[in-house]
Structure 1
Amino acid sequence: MVAALELYLDTDATRRVRTLWRALEEEGIPTLGSLHHKHRPHVSLAAARTIDPDAAAKALDGVPDGRGLSLRMDFAGQFVGRVLWLGVTMTPELMDHHRLVHERLSAGGVEVWEHYRPGLWVPHCTISMRVPNPVMAPAIRRCLEILPLAATVTGAAITDHANDIAHPL
């Protein structure tokens, strides 16, 4: 089970990522588009095994939800465990927003995984959580076909898709 604070992308960027998901699915590569059928393209600012959405919302009270932040995805990457993603180029605005969110979550007693904390976080838009090793290289090439991808953040939510939680911020 994974819970996250997700930043959502504008309509055009969402459409382009969903098109990528469909192309990969047609090639037999599972994507977030087919995982629980609830995911939407996003960039996670924080993640943990569980996040109490009410506690997180209270901790983030008064913090902007990220709407209007400009994101640019310029590269594709892979995490250990067959996770494929589009890499978000860090900007001072994104770094400041991420740091503020984590300061407030920490002050509110909301625990998150260490690798999502400032200084360790790799901003990304997950494409697949389980790319079969023999097709990772072709999947990365497919991702590169849609790059660069500019996006604007249109909203945020605390989510836990396995438990049907989507708490808008």
Structure 2
Amino acid sequence: MVASVELHLDERATRRIRVLWDLLEDIGVQTLRTPHNGRHRPHVSLIAARALDPDRVAEALTGIEVAAKLRLNFQFAGVFVGRVVFLGLAPTPDLMHHQSVVWHRLVVHGIESLPLYNPGEWVPHCTVSMRVPRPILTDGLRRCLEVLPIEATVTRAAVVDYARDIYRELP
């Protein structure tokens, strides 16, 4: 199980990524549309952990505008180990600094994240599928590339753990 601090995207970008999910599902790629009764939203995770206490996270992030009006630009598609397909973001200084500030504030308050979310390790992305079957991986990536680039604005932030039915908006 994984919990995260997510940045949610404006309506236009969200709609475009949901269209991508539909295109991928049509060729047999299970996307984030499917698990947890369709509650997933297209998002960028600033940190992820095995579990997060939303009250502790909110307290640790007091005074930080987690849902900062960042401009995001999805420019490429990629694959993490395990055939996890994602849309990659241009790592702008504002985005990288924002993620680092959130991460540091949580660490100072004793809230640890998975190592891949440490500053300097984090790859800004939006996951579209967790396990793409090998025979259709190339087709899945091609579909991702067909929708790029996608420009987005952050509109909300939340602590999310769908497996534990946790969703708490952050300022």
Instruction: Please say whether Structure 1 and Structure 2 have the same fold, judged by a TM-score greater than 0.5.
Output: yes
Match of 1:4 in 2: 4
Is the Cα contact below 8 Å between 1:67 and 1:152 reproduced in 2?
A: no
CA distance in 1, matches of 2:56, 2:67: 19
RMSD, aligned α-carbons: 0.7
Match of 1:159 in 2: 160
Match of 2:94 in 1: 93
Match of 2:14 in 1: 14
Is the Cα contact below 8 Å between 1:66 and 1:97 reproduced in 2?
A: no
User: Match of 2:147, SS?
Assistant: coil
1:115 aligns with 2:121: no
CA distance in 1, matches of 2:135, 2:153: 34
TM-score by length of 1: 0.98
User: Match of 1:145, SS?
Assistant: helix
CA distance in 1, matches of 2:166, 2:79: 27
TM-score by length of 2: 0.97
CA distance in 2, matches of 1:144, 1:162: 30
Deviation at 1:27, TM superposition (A): 1.2
In structure 2, runs of 5+ residues without a counterpart are none
Deviation beyond 3 Å, 4+ runs, structure 1: none
CA distance in 2, matches of 1:64, 1:108: 17
Deviation at 1:109, TM superposition (A): 0.8
CA distance in 2, matches of 1:131, 1:35: 14
Matches within 5 A, 1:1-169: 1-36=1-36, 37-169=38-170
CA distance in 2, matches of 1:67, 1:96: 12
In structure 1, runs of 5+ residues without a counterpart are none
Percentage of matched positions with identical amino acids: 54
Deviations 1:54-97 (A, max 9, x none): 11110001111233100000000001111000001111110111
